[in-house]
Amino acid sequence: MRRLDWMILWVSILVVLLAGLPFRRYIKSVKDYLLAGRTQPWYLLAPSCQAVQCDVGDFFGAAAFIYQHGLFGLTYWIVALPFGWLLGANITVPYLYRSGVWTPAEWLEVRFNAPARFWGALLVVLQRVFVMGNMILGTALLFKVLVGSPMLWGAGIAIFLGSLYVLFGGVAATVTVGTAQLILMSVGAWAMLIIGWSKTGGLAAVAAQFPQYLHVATQPSFPQLLPGLALLGSLFSVGGYPIYQAEQTSRPLSARTEHDARLGFLLAGPVCYIHQGAILITGLFGLLLYGAANSTLTPRDILYPLMMVKFLPSGLLGIVAASVMAATISTVAANAQSCAGMVTRDIYGRLLYKRGSDHHYMRVSQVLTALWFLIGAALVPLIAKGGMANTYVKVTGAYVTPLMPTMLLSVLYRRASRWAGFGAMILGGTFGTFVTVIPVIKLGVWGHFLVFPLVNFVFSALAFLLISELENALRGVRPRAEWEGLVMGTFPENLRQYRNIEEVIRTRAYIEADSQAVMDSALAEGAVVLKAGKPIYGSSGIPWYKQVWFWTVVLGVVEVLTVIILW
């Protein structure tokens, strides 16, 4: 790193931090802090979902993952993640948005009961603590390679910058500024890909020396797995992330309308293709530089920063380092903020202190945001031993995967009982513990960490259905009034006018909301409210080419073709 590189790096970090300042004036409540007052349009949400998804772990961890497992690693980010956004946009997001909840855990109480909310929040927070450790570890590795600084210094830099960023602006800052950061992140990722390709010979050289690494159906690291089995596992590990993780769902829940929420969430997939693909392919070049399974790469996640220094000239090295730090600052902030929001709203405010003022809860959320950085830092040694991406998949498969069928079936299954959600998550977590953490149950290849998320999803889904039917037989099926508007195919009674409002729009019998206060008062009076010409709820009156179903079909076809081509 020369003087020019340091100037680029620190100027970009300063700009990112200062960009959050204008948003402080909009933070007057905890809802503003966590949901941006529900003001965000779809074209900011789509890149923001990818920006908050991509952190230093999705640079360093993703490159190391594909270096170890081959082209199969593409399925995690290019197939499974868009699959999750597609499911969320069509199944969970509309019902969470209409219910007015702030977090997925809060939804679990609305649909099931308080224990489900509490346990769901703990599971999400458990996974995000490991992700926080990923990001702190990645920052420490970056500075270790660039300047030889101790790991502790790099971790301190990540904690300090992330704390400043999120405390400045809340979700409004992370959504808007994160969108701008994604441009810088993409420039850095593509610069690495292009220069790395030119210096190593690219995929042609990989194919000549390591042909076994260019298949998505099999993994050279574990050739005994049946073809496609790990690919299915990816759908239920990474694919569940957009559905139950708070920092992802907070994006659509901060949208100005339900249509913005769904369309922005859905279109995050194509943004992910463009950005993440460059990082993943670059990871394959590590095979040409260091050979397969090189033991000197300790931890393996150090591969990408080593390639940065090896490939990039002065100036460009500073830009790529800035792009990595941009990814880290935005996501480490959003991760800590979402976890703090869940603990504040779903545990502290629900179980410990119910009578606090809005100002009190906002301050608690901000304090917990900073505290979360420290908790993540404590896990850095464990993550460094197992690897960023591998640790994420193991923790998710064992404990967090049961949240995915619970969230999906809460909307899809009308006969879901009160204790089905809590019971399925408990049983799924116990099953995961006995298979992966304390291997009492031997499943062979089905217990492999790349495959087990699929197994645990099926187990948890069956547990959910069984508990529901047993409880229904003993206590009777829940009355329709308890799930009306919460299950697919139903609409909340107070929002039914949004199901068909073409006539309302044609006759201008609506209120155009120019502020949150106007919207709240109009909704309280039962009026139809439009924001920027769109209904707050539903998609009635929106042209077909802007409809979520149209883009779902388009992106669904792209997903299928991607798998076929890469197979």
SS (H, E, C) 125-146: HHHHHHHHHHHHHHHHHHHHHH
Rounded distance, CA 163 to CA 371, Å?
Answer: 9
Q: What percent of the chain has pLDDT over 90?
A: 36
Give pLDDT tens digits for 51-96.
778 777 788 888 999 999 998 888 899 999 999 999 999 999 999 9
Q: Which residue has the higher pLDDT, 260 or 359?
A: 260
pLDDT at 170: 46
Phi-psi region at 394: left, alpha or beta (left = phi > 0; alpha = psi -120 to 50): alpha
pLDDT at 168: 55
**354 burial type by CB count under 10 A (0-12 exposed, 13-18 middle, 19+ buried):** exposed
Closest CA to 317 of 188, 196, 158: 188
**385 burial type by CB count under 10 A (0-12 exposed, 13-18 middle, 19+ buried):** exposed
- Residue 25 in tokens: 């004036």
User: Sheet holding 511-512: strands in order across?
Assistant: 511-512, 529-531, 534-535
Q: Which is it for strands 511-512 and 529-531: parallel, antiparallel or unpaired?
A: parallel
Asked which of 6-20, 182-196, 265-279 is least confident by mean pLDDT, the reply is: 6-20
Q: Which residues contact 515 (CB under 8 A, 6 or more apart)?
A: none
Residue 394 has pLDDT above 70, yes or no: yes
**488 burial type by CB count under 10 A (0-12 exposed, 13-18 middle, 19+ buried):** middle
Report residue 179's pLDDT band, with 50, 70 and 90 as the boundaries: low
Q: Which residue has the higher pLDDT, 512 or 113?
A: 113
Rounded distance, CA 529 to CA 551, Å?
Answer: 25
pLDDT at 331: 65
Q: What is the mean predicted confidence (pLDDT) over 275-288?
A: 90
Give the gyration radius of the chain's Cα atoms.
23
- Residue 98 in tokens: 């209409």
Q: What is the mean predicted confidence (pLDDT) over 281-288?
A: 93
Q: Do 519 and 513 meet the contact criterion of CB atoms below 8 Å apart?
A: yes
Q: Side chain identity at 92, as an amino acid letter? A: T
pLDDT at 449: 92
Rounded distance, CA 30 to CA 357, Å?
Answer: 10
Closest CA to 421 of 105, 112, 110, 95: 112
Give pLDDT tens digits for 238-255.
999 999 987 788 889 888
Task: Report phi then psi at 478, rounded to 5.
Answer: -60, 140
Secondary structure element (H or E) that encloses residue 17, with its range: helix 3-19
Rounded distance, CA 51 to CA 134, Å?
Answer: 16
pLDDT at 247: 77
Give SS3 for 529.
Answer: strand
**52 burial type by CB count under 10 A (0-12 exposed, 13-18 middle, 19+ buried):** buried
Q: How remote is the C-alpha of 423 from its chain's centroid? A: 25
Residue 359 has pLDDT above 70, yes or no: no
Domains and CATH numbers, the chain: 3-10+34-478+552-566 (1.20.1730.10), 507-537 (no CATH)
Q: Which residue has the higher pLDDT, 431 or 300?
A: 431
Give pLDDT tens digits for 516-564.
677 777 777 777 888 777 888 888 878 889 899 999 999 999 999 988 8
Residue 33 has pLDDT above 80, yes or no: no
pLDDT at 130: 81
Give pLDDT tens digits for 419-439.
999 999 999 999 999 999 898
Mean pLDDT of the chain: 83
* Crossing angle between the packed helical segments 420-432 and 114-147, to the nearest 10 degrees: 40
Closest CA to 453 of 175, 264, 259, 238: 238
Residue 172 has pLDDT above 50, yes or no: no
Residue 34 has pLDDT above 80, yes or no: no
Asked which of 208-212, 233-237, 355-359, 432-436 is least confident by mean pLDDT, the reply is: 355-359
- Residue 240 in tokens: 């569940």
Q: Do 236 and 243 meet the contact criterion of CB atoms below 8 Å apart?
A: no
Q: What percent of the chain has pLDDT over 70?
A: 84
Asked which of 311-315, 322-326, 327-331, 469-473 is least confident by mean pLDDT, the reply is: 327-331
Q: Which of 139-143, 282-286, 324-328, 360-364 has the highest mean pLDDT?
A: 282-286
Task: Report phi then psi at 530, rounded to 5.
Answer: -115, 145
Rounded distance, CA 402 to CA 452, Å?
Answer: 12
Residue 285 has pLDDT above 60, yes or no: yes
pLDDT at 300: 87
Q: Which residues contact 41 (CB under 8 A, 6 or more apart)?
A: 255, 256, 260, 264, 532
* Crossing angle between the packed helical segments 151-200 and 303-311, to the nearest 10 degrees: 60
The reported pTM is 0.87
Give pLDDT tens digits for 369-389.
667 667 777 777 888 888 888
Q: How remote is the C-alpha of 259 from its chain's centroid? A: 20
Q: What is the mean predicted confidence (pLDDT) over 45-55?
A: 82
Report residue 171's pLDDT band, with 50, 70 and 90 as the boundaries: very low
Question: Sign of torsion, CA 521 524 526 530?
Answer: positive
pLDDT at 457: 97
